[in-house]
Copies of this chain bind each other. A is one copy, B any other.
Amino acid sequence: MVTPILTKNQSLVLDALAHAEAPLSAYTILDKLRDHGFRAPLQVYRALEKLQEFGLVHRLESLNAFVACACREDHDHTHHHHGVTMFAICEGCGQVTEFHDTGMEERLALLVKKQHFKTEKTTIEIRGHCQNCV
Contact = CB atoms under 8 A, between A and B. Distances in A.
A106 to B, nearest CB: 10
Contacts of A117: 88, 90, 97, 126, 128-131
A99 interface: yes
In the assembly, how many copies of this chain are there? 2
A82 interface: no
Interface stretch (A48-56, A69-77, A108-116): A108-116
Nearest to A92: B118
Interface size bracket, A side: 20 to 34
A104 B111 contact: yes
A128 B119 contact: yes
Interface of A: 61-62, 86, 88, 90-91, 97, 99, 101, 103-104, 107-108, 111-112, 115-131, 134
Given A101-B107, A116-B131, 9 more contacts: A61-B61, A61-B125, A104-B107, A104-B111, A116-B130, A118-B129, A118-B134, A123-B124, A123-B127
